[in-house]
Amino acid sequence: MELLDIINVGLFAAALRMATPIAFAALGGIFSERVGIVNIGLEGMMLTGAFAGVTASFFSGNPWLGVLAAVLVGGLLGLLHALLTVKFVVNQIVSGTGINIFALGFTAYMCQNLWGSRGASESVQGLKAISIPLLKDIPILGDIIGEHTPLVYIMLIVTVLSYILLFKTPTGLRIRAVGEHPAAADTAGINVLRMKYLCVMISGMFAGLGGAFLSLGHLNLFAWGMTGGRGFIALAAMILGQWMPFGAFGASLLFGFADAFQMRLQALGLLPPQIILTIPYLLTVAVLAGVVRRATPPSDYKPYVKE
C-alpha cells in the first residue's frame, strides 16, 4: 500500500465518522461558552456517557436506550458543572477538571464491578449503519455520507438546528446576551441563572451523545479512557470554529481527517506507530498555538452574581 492509495473516498467517509464525537462535544462547548461558562469537563462527560450507553445497552439489549442513558448522564454532569460554577461560584477550570478526574475513576470502578475488568466491558448491541437510498446513489458524495450509523446523521442535523437556534431565534439571542452581558440581560427580564443551567446541561447532553457514538456506534463496547482526549480536541475545534456551529463542524472534520489519516498511515509502516498516533494531537496544539491569540471568546467567563 502506498500513500496515494489511502487518500480516497473511504478516507473521507472515515473522517466524517471520526469527526462525529468531536463535533457533538464541540457543539456542547459552544452552548456552554455562549452563556459564559467554560466546560473543560467535556472529556469526562463523553467518557461517562460512553460508559452509561454501554451499560444500558448491556442490560436492556437496546442500543437506543443506551444512547438515551448517555444523554441523561451527560446532562446530569452538565447540571453538576453548572451548579458548582453558577451557584457556588467554583472556578470553572477546577470544576471541569474535577469532573474529568471523577469520570476516569468512576468508570474504571464500575467497569470492574460489572465485568470484572477495569480495561474493557463485554461487547454489547450497538447501532447498525443505515443507508439512505437517494443519497447513497450520488457519485462520490454517496460513498462518503451515504451509509453511516444514525448518530452521524443526527450530528449533521443537530449542527444545523444549533445554528438556527442560536442565531435565528429569540431564544438564541437571549442565550448570547447572557454570555456577552449578563447584567444587561437580567435588566431586560431574562432569567440569567436559569439560562446558564439550561445551556450547560445541553452541553453535557451533547458530550454524552459523543460518548455514545464511541461506545455504541463505533466499538460496541466500553474501554477505559476510550475518549482519548477528544473532549479537549473538541474545545480546540470550538475555538477554531469561532464558537459557531458550522465553524466547529468544519474544524471537527479537520481533526477527524487527521485521526482517520493516522489510522491508515499505520498500515504503511513508514514511521513508528507511536509517532503516527500523535498526529491529531500535534494538529490540535498547532491550531491552538496559531488561533487562540486571535480568537475572541463570546463572553468573559466571569461568574454572574445578581445584585
> How much is the pLDDT for 4?
56
Please compute the mean of the pLDDT values over residues 3-31 and round it to a whole number: 88
pLDDT in tens, 61-116: 999 999 999 999 999 999 999 999 999 999 999 999 999 999 999 999 999 999 98
Q: What is the DSSP string of 1-47?
A: --HHHH-SHHHHHHHHHHHHHHHHHHHHHHHHHHTT---TTHHHHHH
Which pTM was predicted? 0.94
Tell me what pLDDT residue 264 has. 78
Residue 285: pLDDT band by 50, 70, 90 thresholds? Answer: confident
For residues 255 and 279, give the distance between their C-alpha atoms in angstroms, rounded to a whole number. Answer: 9
- Band of residue 5 on the pLDDT scale cut at 50, 70, 90: low
206, 28 Cβ separation under 8 angstroms:
yes
pLDDT tens readout for residues 155-164: 999 999 999 9
pLDDT band for position 146 (cuts 50, 70, 90): confident
Cα–Cα distance for residue pair 259/278, rounded to 1 Å: 9
The model's confidence at residue 286, banded by pLDDT at 50, 70 and 90, is: confident
**Percent with pLDDT over 70 in the chain:** 95
User: For position 253, what pLDDT does the model report?
Assistant: 94
**Sorting pLDDT into bands at 50, 70 and 90, what band is 3?**
low
Q: What is the pLDDT of residue 273?
A: 73
Q: What local confidence, expressed as pLDDT, does residue 294 receive?
A: 67
Label residue 292 by pLDDT band (50, 70, 90). low
Q: Are 218 and 73 within 8 A, CB to CB?
A: no
pLDDT single digits (tens) 266-277 = 767 666 777 777
Q: Are 213 and 52 in contact (CB under 8 A)?
A: no
pLDDT tops 80 at residue 181: yes
With a cut of 70, say whether residue 41 has pLDDT above it: yes
**For the segment 189-248, what is each residue's pLDDT rounded down to a tens digit?**
999 999 999 999 999 999 999 999 999 998 899 999 999 999 999 999 999 999 999 999
Kindly state the cell numbers that stand for 268.
Answer: 504503511
Q: Which residues pair with 131 in a beta bridge?
A: 147
| CB of 195 closer than 8 Å to CB of 166 | no
Is residue 55 a contact partner of residue 69, using CB atoms and an 8 Å limit?
Answer: yes
The C-alpha angle 176, 307, 165, rounded to 5 degrees, equals 15
